[in-house]
Amino acid sequence: MKLSAEIKALQARLGHDFADPRLLKQAVTHSSMSTPTRDDNQRLEFLGDRVLGLVMAEALLEADTGASEGQLAPRFNALVRKETCADVARQIDLGAALKLGRSEMLSGGRRKMALLGDAMEAVIAAVYLDGGFGAAKAMVLRLWGRRIASVEEDARDAKTSLQEWAQARGQKPPAYEQVSRTGPDHAPVFVIEVRLDSGESARAEAGSKRLAEHAAAQALLARVTGA
C-alpha cells in the first residue's frame, strides 16, 4: 500500500519496517478522524499501555535485582506515565505524522501531551502486533533508554518535589490555577498554571486536572533547577 512521506519518515525513526503498515496508519489516527471505514488508535492505545508496562517491569527488575516492590513502583510509574510517553513522542516527532480532525488540528493537537502520549502507546501496540513482543521490546528500550538509566531521579512526584523546593527557600507552597477547560465531556483538555511566590510560573495541558498539574509542576521544576 502507498504510504505518505510522514508515515515513511516515522517508520524510519521507529526503526521498524512494518509488514502491515496499516497498523502504523491506525496508530497515528486520532478519534477525530475516525470513520466507518477508518479505525482510530483508541484500541491500540489500550494494548500498547499493557505492552509498555510489561517491558518496563522486566527492565526495572533486570536493572536492580535487589530493589523492593516499594522501590520499583514509583520508578515504574515514572516510566509509563502519559507525560513520559508524550516526551518520547516528541523525541521522534510523532506529532508530524498524526492524522487529526480539523478542530483538533486548529487547537494545536500535534503538540498536546494527551494526544501524543496516547499515540505513542498505540504505536507500541502496532509494532507488537506487526513484529511480536521482541520487536516492541527492542523499540521501547531504545527509545526509553536514558530514561530507564536515570529513572530514580524522575520517580518522585513532581508536585511534591516542587513544593519541597519552594519551602526550602522560604516560599509558600506553589499555587495551581485552572486557566481553561476545552473539548467535549468525554475528552476534555485542561490547562493548568502553577506559580511560585517568587513569580516563576509554568503552564501545561492534559486530559485531567491531575495530569495537567503534574506536567506544569514538572515543567516549572525543570526551569527553576535548570534540569
Q: What is the pLDDT of residues 72-111, one digit of tens each?
A: 888 898 899 888 899 899 999 999 999 988 888 777 778 8
Higher pLDDT, 221 or 137: 137
Cα–Cα distance measured from residue 8 to residue 27, given in angstroms and rounded to the nearest whole number: 14
Q: Tell me the residue range of the domain where 178 lies.
A: 158-225
Higher pLDDT, 1 or 130: 130
Q: Indicate which CATH number applies to the domain containing 165.
A: 3.30.160.20
Cα–Cα distance measured from residue 220 to residue 162, given in angstroms and rounded to the nearest whole number: 8
Cα–Cα distance measured from residue 208 to residue 210, given in angstroms and rounded to the nearest whole number: 5
Q: Are residues 85 and 117 in the same domain?
A: yes
The pLDDT, as a whole number, for residue 53 is: 98
pTM of the predicted protein model: 0.71
Q: Are residues 73 and 147 in the same domain?
A: yes
Q: Are residues 18 and 84 in the same domain?
A: yes
Domain count, the chain: 2
Q: Are residues 55 and 113 in the same domain?
A: yes
The pLDDT, as a whole number, for residue 37 is: 67
Q: Are residues 17 and 41 in the same domain?
A: yes
Please compute the mean of the pLDDT values over residues 32-47 and round it to a whole number.
86
pLDDT for residue 1 is more than 70 = no
Annotated active-site residue in 49, 87, 154, 205: 49
Q: Is 121 a catalytic residue?
A: yes
CA dihedral 128, 134, 140, 144 (to 10 degrees): 170
pLDDT for residue 156 is more than 70 = no
Q: Is 200 a catalytic residue?
A: no
Please compute the mean of the pLDDT values over residues 140-160 and round it to a whole number.
81
Annotated active-site residue in 83, 121, 154, 193: 121
Q: Are residues 175 and 104 in the same domain?
A: no
Q: Are residues 128 and 23 in the same domain?
A: yes
